[in-house]
Structure 1
């Protein structure tokens, strides 16, 4: 397995899910620490999440049962670290925290990386469409502004000096409009290419 990839995901995991209150008083009082550990592991949380549980329950004078939590977490991780789940988590943008044992991590990461490929393309498509929507709004606004300026330009009530200023402003708006329309044409091409790439990836990884 690629060691650089392994260290990278562990570093990401060290930055995730720290310092938040995870349990309320009633949950602390009735806690089944094996079950809490299992659920955390099955959801892809690192066992360092117990520090957040400890912080939450310390306010109520309760300490977690670390051994039970650890046992439950180890079982939950087995459920989490499957290739199918790795692929699903990757497509959702989950940041892997390095929790899988070596015996399961290789296949999990292969599937996870495949899912991340799909997620990256989907994210790119969303960003491109968002830019396209912004551009179309700006284009519509500019078209309205140009029409209003042209109306003022040909009004008998507009002075010659104002007409010159309006004419210059129309020129600048038309230049901006042309750039936006050109960019939108390119966005149509980029979106089509990204969607085609997504279809290829979905077919490539259909076995997951």
Structure 2
């Protein structure tokens, strides 16, 4: 658990208002996405044999809000079946208890899960302790993946550019190449060398950024090893 002593009352209030606003936006986004997706959550056989308590439990344990039952209702209505709302909500409540732990919050945060405010007040604090820690690791890990991807792309561009430079030099110094073409090729080579220098400079910076991010990741993993 993070120590509350790190924050002043004003900071806590500001953080609380910000988190509440974020939760409301996330809930609205998730509900809109479910409505617009039009994807059936259950097939005919699943609707016919549905254990609505179990379905509610699984949805809650996976971090879905209880509004997900609307998607189940829409899917099963096509087959003339209505959900057992009470059983679903009872199951969902139990599933949420399993979901809203500090350890699971940490795991969900690391995986990039977008929290939609489904945890009850009695459990939310512990969940957010883990979730906030996991999100820190997720942010650094994402930055590392992005830098590694850019570095691979840069190296591929550098390799292709180096080969093109070699080819143009061979053409420029060929006996049959006219003086006019040599001047043109020399200008093109000068531009390509500048591009290559820019890629090399960016690659060096990426290596520095990667080293710093990897060091930061090790610090965070050690700091939050108790989750």
TM range (shorter): over 0.9
In structure 1, the partner of 2:189 is 170
Pick one of 13, 16, 21 that aligns with 1:7: 21
Equivalence for 1:155 = 174
Residue aligning to 1:117:
136
Task: Report the CA distance between 1:107 and its aligned residue.
Answer: 1.1
Aligned equivalent of 1:18:
34
Aligned with 2:153 (options 134, 143, 147) = 134
Distance 1:133 1:22 in 2: 39
> Any unmatched runs of 5+ in structure 1?
none
Compute the RMSD of aligned alpha carbons: 1.0
1:95 corresponds to 2:114:
yes
Q: Secondary structure at the match of 1:184?
A: helix
Counterpart CA distance in 1 for 2:117 and 2:21 is 8
Q: How many Å apart are 1:3 and its aligned residue?
A: 2.7
Count of residues in Structure 1 that have an aligned counterpart in Structure 2: 208
Give me the TM-score of the superposition, normalised by structure 2: 0.89
**Paired residue for 1:181?**
200
Q: Which runs of 5+ in 2 are unaligned?
A: 1-11
Following TM superposition, the consecutive aligned residue runs of length 4 or more in structure 1 with deviations greater than 3 angstroms are: none
